[in-house]
Structure 1
Amino acid sequence: MGLDLCVGFIGGGAMAEALVAGITQGTIDREHIFVSDHKAARCQELAERYGIHTSVGADAFVGHVDVLFLAVKPQAAAKAIDEVKDKVGKDTLILSIVAGLTLDSLEASFTSQPVVRIMPNTPLSVGAGMSAFACGTRAGAAEAKAVSEILSASGRAIEVSEPAMDAVTGLSGSGPAYVFLLIDALSDGGVAAGLKRDAATLLAAQTVYGAAKMVLETQKHPDVLRDQVTSPAGTTIAGVRVLENRGLRGALIDAVLAATEKSRELGKK
């Protein structure tokens, strides 16, 4: 069921496009979606691909949208906020996906509007996103429900405290890149073992998808599910032994921690 909301985006990059692709899948009417980007070619591309309204600059829509996404890069956030903060409606729900930008900073700029900080990821564009959000002091249960419905329509969403947002960024926000790397490496392994590339990539990607689905649907601990496929002296334990020896587990933990720390650094600038 669709939501009767008018939604605007400041910024038309990859994450904004993922959100647009998600909410146009029956959540928000395309006629009620507006995107501004500083590149005219990008505006045209998004308009043609999704059938939405686009413009260079947000003056045409920023004053009448119900929900406004701030979807710019951290280094461009201050300028973008200055350009729109006095033009949005006092009840407009502000949703920021700017990495590291705190609720305090957002509420200092948007002095009457409810503000929510969100961290989605790009699989939102194929209906399999993972998003987390933290509400500001003026965002209550109604705003939290609206945000959850917008994000959950294209995946899953959870509400967290703001201090957890940097960890969310390091895990689920950046996580798709880690998984793409994993799939590519598994595919390379298949090719090295004699498979054709297209077959190897399909086998790798579907295996990752299926394993993730088992964790979500069975709600069993990953170690329990791993034991179910790991026979004594079998092929799987031989492979797991190599991964443990090469430090895969530690490398992934360190990747999440490094991305988390980078998010914290961005928030201090």
Structure 2
Amino acid sequence: MAKLDERIGFIGGGNMAFSIGSGLIRGGIVKASQVMVSGPHIENLSRWRELGATTTDDNNDVLEHTDIIFICVKPHMLGPCAAQLKYKHVPSAKDANKLFVSVLAGTTLQTLEETFAFIGMSGLKMIRTMPNTSMQVGEGCTVYTGNAHVAHQDLEKVHLMLNSLGLAQQVPEPMIDAVTGVTGCGPAFVYTIIESLADGAVKQGVPRQMALQFAAQTLLGAAKTVLLTGKHPAVLRDEVCSPGGSTIVGVHELEKGNLRATIINAVEKSSLRSAELGKK
């Protein structure tokens, strides 16, 4: 597998950042010694130190000493974070080579460029992404897009990193908020489904831990079947539903409960909320 020589930085060391950083280190894309992460409370970064990464409570350390910088703060903290960096940052020629990767929900490339305009006077290289936390187990799903200053080789480096943690695909920026409702928020929806399947099994007498394992494996197997066979989910569902059998009875109950409409609505609401977050 290809490796990167660049130093990788994370401004913000929360769950999403850790999913990406730990995945890159464990996957051998980068060494722990190449990674630096910042956060307001150094004591909260202990899991990064256990991986062997360098930690700091000064975001400017990451800006100055790394080459590919993931911006992993909450959307409402973007302005204060940029203001702090601007106060300390001393512009230099090396700024032009830095590549920034945002994971902020709903935050457009234009907003990112305007916010960090003090870096890279010849044009900030910014890539907007929407990853998900399944990256931590190598099964993430990420979409990304770059601004006009991003070169092809920059996109290749980001694709290498993100695709090593699951599936990564470049899409037009207007599609990112829509995809967020599926990939970014979808894991929470699926966890709810897994829990519900397990609850149903427990109700029928299956021990809790066993029920959770069976439910999770069932979803994993079903998802893999969709990906590997290329068949439409409806076709695969019909293959399981024998005439007059137990599965079709259960599917009927799902339809009566409006499961399909509820999930469609959840994706729609999450997508719209993602766009709203970037405007605040």
TM-score range, shorter chain: over 0.9
How many residues are aligned here? 268
Mapped partners of 1:136, 1:62: distance in 2: 19
Give the superposition deviation at 1:101.
Answer: 1.0
Structure 1 unmatched runs, 5+: none
1:145 aligned to which of 139, 153, 156: 156
Does residue 254 of structure 2 align to residue 243 of structure 1?
yes
1:52 is matched with which residue? 53
* Structure 2 length-normalised TM: 0.92
1:157 partner SS: strand
* Structure 1 length-normalised TM: 0.96
Asked if 1 retains the 8 angstrom alpha-carbon contact of 2:79 and 2:115, the reply is no
1:27 is matched with which residue? 29
1:255 is matched with which residue? 266
Does residue 187 of structure 2 align to residue 176 of structure 1?
yes
Does residue 147 of structure 2 align to residue 136 of structure 1?
yes
Asked if 1 retains the 8 angstrom alpha-carbon contact of 2:128 and 2:146, the reply is yes
Asked if 1 retains the 8 angstrom alpha-carbon contact of 2:74 and 2:104, the reply is yes
Mapped partners of 2:100, 2:85: distance in 1: 11
Equivalence map 1:100-179=2 (5 Å): 100-111=106-117, 112-179=123-190
Mapped partners of 2:233, 2:47: distance in 1: 41
Identity %: 40
Does residue 92 of structure 2 align to residue 81 of structure 1?
no
Asked if 1 retains the 8 angstrom alpha-carbon contact of 2:38 and 2:62, the reply is no
Mapped partners of 2:191, 2:90: distance in 1: 40
RMSD after superposition:
1.3
Asked if 1 retains the 8 angstrom alpha-carbon contact of 2:107 and 2:275, the reply is no
> Which residue identity is paired with 2:20?
L
Give the superposition deviation at 1:87.
Answer: 5.2
2:168 partner SS: strand
Mapped partners of 1:262, 1:81: distance in 2: 23
2:64 partner SS: coil
Give the superposition deviation at 1:46.
Answer: 2.1
Give the superposition deviation at 1:14.
Answer: 0.8
2:120 is matched with which residue? none
Give the superposition deviation at 1:84.
Answer: 2.9
Structure 2 unmatched runs, 5+: 118-122
Asked if 2 retains the 8 angstrom alpha-carbon contact of 1:43 and 1:56, the reply is no
Deviates more, 1:103-112 or 1:182-191: 103-112
Does residue 235 of structure 2 align to residue 233 of structure 1?
no
